[in-house]
Amino acid sequence: MRTLETLARRGAVALTALTLVVASGCDDLLSVENPAQIMEESLDNPQLIPILYNSVIGDFQAMYDDPVIWRGSMFTDEQITGVNWEATARLSQRMIRFDEGDASGMFGSLSRALVMADSVSGRFRGGLLPNPSTDARLATTLTYAGYNYVLMGEIMCEASIKLSARTYSPEELFAMALERFDEAITIAQAAGSNNVLNFARTGAARAALGLGEPSRVMSYASSVPMGFKWWAEYGNNSASERNTMWTGVTGANHRIGVHPKFLAGPFGQQGLVAQQTDPRVQHTANWTFGHNALTRLYKPYQGLRYGGYNGQTLATGGQPLLYGPDTNILIADGLEAMHHYYEAAGPAGTGPAGTTLEFVNSRRAYGNQPPVNLSGAALMAELRDQRGRDLYLGGFRLGDLRRWKAQGVGDFFPSGTHPTPEWGQYGDAECFPLPSTEYEGNPNLTRP
């Protein structure tokens, strides 16, 4: 029999007051009573600390695979979808409407995780923990809160926070993330928890990168060891615990395919075996039709961000693995921190992994690519390519494409004719709009 703590870790226990505040701004919903759920007045009971703590983790993990990774990468150059639902097909075409489910689902999932992490952190800081300034549990929930703000900033065009009367820009959201990361770093250091410390430092580097503050990026990232890893954990006990990426590559109606940008060979060609030499981006050698019986899908195998990654390539007779229902996903790691560092350091930079050129060539070597001798803009373009391979389908690409376009280094969003030619030309969406449900449910927010 599973305990409440286990259920909470998987996001199966709802904390009524916190969940309803996010779900709607309607006052009548706040009066709903459910004896199977934990009421707000009970949340300051120290016996609930494990449930509160694990609910922060559970809510993050529940939204990380879907919608953040699956839907969040859908209008980037990482994947195309074969889903037959009209709204999801539009998302693959870089067309997203504020009055459809993908927008409300993304914002709702991010908001639930954000409010949970902020609320629990506030309770921990406000007296629920006996010594919060030296307690790694508070450092952890603050770090998850920081990541929620980062993802909100990378994915949403703008966002209201906790029924706010205004919307916040991505830059403002990144700044809010840094406040939480900085507090988490201080507490993790006092608690002597190096793993949480590295988790917070990696997130802080990501937020500072979004803010365009290279010196802060390098300061945070330089101390993160390459061997550090922090996972989102999934399981096969129930539908809510499973990694959604698994359902995207299994069965006759699979729905995820590799975008031509990352494909090892010409799109539409069968038998792509010999070209698949980079273990980080492997996919089925042949395309098949998926859910819509229209889109050609080369199903992706697990890359570096996934727990079943084995480093094997089809080109050498190996067998990389498809996602499973219990496949874990990296939230943060040392390699990611180094990518943040060297993007901030620039082409003439030097750091924990040597010069920027040396770091790029080390990643090329890992991908079975020959070394290059580049400098300036060409070197940074290669660094961006290696970042895309190392972080493939890890929840970074939308934020990366938006950042690079804002910096003026290039517009790398897919354009022109969609790989499913029957769908015509790509649209121009670059982020998820604030959904109509927020304007309808948030009494403090006025529609522009």
Residues 81, 92 contacting (CB under 8 angstroms):
yes
- 231 or 24, which is more confident? 231
Residues 380-416: tens digit of each pLDDT:
999 999 999 999 999 999 999 999 999 999 999 999 9
pLDDT tens by residue, 288-319: 998 899 999 999 999 999 999 999 999 999 99
- All residues at 6 or more sequence positions from 122 whose CB lies less than 8 Å from its CB, including other chains: none
Residue type, 200: A
Q: Specify the long-range contacts of residues 159-164, CB closer than 8 Å, at least 24 apart.
A: 159/107, 159/110, 159/111, 159/434, 160/434, 160/438, 160/442, 160/445, 161/111, 161/114, 162/21, 162/22, 162/114, 162/115, 162/118, 163/21, 163/25, 163/442, 163/443, 163/444, 163/445, 164/442, 164/444, 164/445
Give 250 or 334, the one with higher predicted confidence.
Answer: 334
Model pTM score: 0.91
CB 83 within 8 A of CB 34: no
Token pair 């790694």 is at which residue?
A: 136
Read off the tokens for 143.
């770090």
- Looking at residue 40, its pLDDT comes to 62
What percent of the chain lies above the pLDDT cut of 90? Answer: 82
Predicted local distance difference test score (pLDDT) of residue 39? 61
Q: What is the pLDDT of residues 156-194, one digit of tens each?
A: 999 999 999 999 999 999 999 999 999 999 999 999 999
Which token pair is 362?
């080390």
- pLDDT at position 334 is 98
Is residue 135 over pLDDT 60? Answer: yes
Q: What is the pLDDT of residues 88-133, one digit of tens each?
A: 899 999 999 888 878 899 999 999 999 999 999 999 999 999 999 9
For tokens 């639930």, the residue is 112
